[in-house]
Amino acid sequence: MTTEIVRVPLGDRAYDIQIGENILGKAGEFLSPLLKRKRVVVVTDKNVFAAQGASLKAGLAGIETDFIVLKPGEATKSFDEFQKLTGRLLDLGVERDDIVIAFGGGVIGDLTGFACAVLRRGCRFAQIPTTLLAQVDSAVGGKTAINAPQGKNLIGAFHQPSIVIADTASLNTLSPRELRAGYAEVVKYGLIDDEPFFAWLEKQGTALLAGDASARIWAVKKSCEAKAAIVGADEQERGKRALLNLGHTFGHAFEAAFGYSEKLLHGEGVALGMVLAFEYSARLGMCSPDDAERVKSHLGACDLPVDVHDLPEVPPASTLVEFMKQDKKVEHGALTLILADAIGGSRIVKDANIDDVSAFLKEKTGR
Ligand SMILES: NC(=O)c1ccc[n+]([C@@H]2O[C@H](COP(=O)([O-])OP(=O)(O)OC[C@H]3O[C@@H](n4cnc5c(N)ncnc54)[C@H](O)[C@@H]3O)[C@@H](O)[C@H]2O)c1
Ligand SMILES: O=C(O)C(=O)C[C@@H](O)[C@H](O)[C@H](O)COP(=O)(O)O
Ligand SMILES: [Zn+2]
């Protein structure tokens, strides 16, 4: 199987996303042209190191490599872990022109990317994503962040990687729950502006989740192409990049309400959030209830949460609304939501009526 390359068009900061099956062994080959000296520091977590560390080590043979191995899970995207990580990178003598490798899922990518954005006022980094979510979304586009008690990703920076290397064979050791959570972000691209891709996923999603290698590569490539085009047009979310936030204003509020715990994974929050965004769009008369039902039915068939009662607990609407008010898309205190006229027809809606959103969530949660 050949390696696919998607370019993120950002002028002098443009970079390639290398996508292929079993390409970890070529990591050194991809990275070498970018290295100013033959040394890298790899930041990863315990699970990824155990499952995939040996393959990456083999791929980096001949390059002096230090590993920093962190605790897995969303709680690692914290101020404490950020402080520890920057300290360790400084102790290891990382210089501005060195490349730090974020080897893991979105948690490792977001934390490491943020550390690199500010370390010595900015050092280079590479993304080697090992979850479906990270390969189709978080490793691309340069959003880096940690969470705050007030809300998700509230402390961060835009900082682009120098390269992304997505080995789809890494997904073989990922748990089915994590794979499904990442799948929600794949579905997102179809819902934003590509109905045929959504229709393809309705047919091929099961094969993709079952490990079909060519379905995975195609879906990762399609997703990266969609994200690269949006990021290339609006790197810092002044406009259309906000479409990539479909489902996230709701989803992040649930994640925060659950204290960024294992009870709700990011992709699970996004799945529920996208259903709520479509249901709310139908309530406003924007899209048809049939479209909302079609979204719910596909995500539900993939065993993702699509109703608040699928969650381990149902947070009160008032708690959710408080977190939604912390969303980064808020302007002059008013909510911006990504809603939809149809599947593949999402749009940015400013000045969403907060009382109406609150009433909608009260109906959904019963609290
Ligand atoms: N920056 C962005 O644009 C962006 C986009 C989407 C999501 N995110 C962020 O990404 C995070 C979620 O990332 P995630 O879903 O990748 O979760 P994650 O990073 O927590 O990884 C999921 C779990 O799988 C394990 N794991 C990872 N790869 C593995 C592999 N190949 N084999 C075995 N185990 C493996 C990890 O140790 C972890 O326990 C959230 O914090 C979310 O906010 C950021
Ligand atoms: O890349 C983007 O832009 C996204 O919004 C992608 C999202 O999937 C991702 O979860 C992102 O981290 C959310 O960003 P935020 O600005 O809402 O924190
Ligand atoms: Zn997301």
pLDDT tens readout for residues 22-71: 999 999 999 999 999 999 999 999 999 999 999 999 999 999 999 999 99
What's the average model confidence in pLDDT over 2-24? 97
Q: Show the domain range for 334.
A: 176-365
**pLDDT reported for residue 1:** 64
Smallest-distance ligand from the CA of 256: 1
Residue 285's alpha-carbon distances to 100, 242, 281, 339, in angstroms, are 48, 22, 6, 11
Q: What is the mean pLDDT of residues 87-116?
A: 98
Mutate to test the pocket of ligand 1, among 8, 76, 82, 131 (most ligand atoms within 8 A of CB): 131
Q: Are residues 277 and 194 in the same domain?
A: yes
pLDDT band per the 50, 70, 90 thresholds, residue 224: very high
How confident is the prediction for the chain on average, in pLDDT?
98
Domain end (from 173, 206, 221): 173
How far is C-alpha 264 from the chain's CA centre?
Answer: 14
Read off the amino acid at residue 261: S
| Structure-token match 């996208």, residue found | 274
Cα 93 to ligand 2 centre (Å): 31
Residue 253 belongs to domain with CATH number: 1.20.1090.10
The CATH number linked to 95 is 3.40.50.1970
Q: Which amino acid, one-letter code, is at 213?
A: A
- For ligand 3, the distance from its centroid to the CA atom of residue 246, given in whole angstroms, is 8
> Is the domain of 214 the same as that of 226?
yes
Pairing mode of beta strands 4-8, 99-104? unpaired
77 ligand 2 Cβ < 6 A: no
Q: Would the CB of 108 count as within 6 Å of ligand 1?
A: yes
The number of distinct structural domains making up the chain is 2
Each residue of 269-311: pLDDT tens digit? 999 999 999 999 999 999 999 999 999 999 999 999 999 999 9
Closest C-alpha among 134, 66, 127, 76 to residue 105: 134
Are 150 and 193 found together in one domain?
Answer: no
10 plus 149 within the same structural domain: yes
Q: Are residues 209 and 168 in the same domain?
A: no
Question: Is any atom of ligand 1 closer than 6 Å to the C-beta of 55?
Answer: no
What CA–CA distance (Å, rounded) separates 298 from 65? 43
- Check whether residue 276 and residue 136 sit in a common domain: no
SS3 content of the chain, % helix, strand, coil (to 5): 55, 20, 25
Return the active site residues: 121, 143, 185, 227, 237, 241, 245, 248, 252, 266
Residue 143 shares a structural domain with residue 194: no
In this structure, are 151 and 204 located in the same domain?
no
pLDDT of residue 364 exceeding 90, the answer is: yes
Average pLDDT over residues 85-91: 98
Same domain, yes or no: 218 and 354: yes
The answer, yes or no, to whether any atom of ligand 1 lies below 6 A from the CB of 74, is: yes
C-beta of 134 in contact with ligand 1 (< 6 A): yes
* pLDDT given for residue 2 in this prediction: 77
Out of 173, 202, 231, a domain closes at 173
Cβ-contact 287, 336 below 8 angstroms:
no
Kindly state whether residues 133 and 69 are assigned to the same domain. Answer: yes
The Å distance, Cα 83 to ligand 2 centre, comes to: 23
On whether both 189 and 271 belong to a single domain, the answer is: yes
Rounded to an integer, the average pLDDT of 198-227 is 97
Q: For residue 71, give every residue at least 6 positions away whose Cβ sits within 8 Å of its Cβ, in sequence order, or none.
A: 45, 46, 81
Round to whole Å and give the CA distance between 220 and 190.
13
Percent of the chain with pLDDT over 90: 99
User: In this structure, are 211 and 301 located in the same domain?
Assistant: yes
The model's pLDDT over 162-208, given as tens digits with 9 standing for 90+, comes to: 999 999 999 999 999 999 999 999 999 999 999 999 999 999 999 99
Last residue of a domain, one of 173, 199, 234: 173
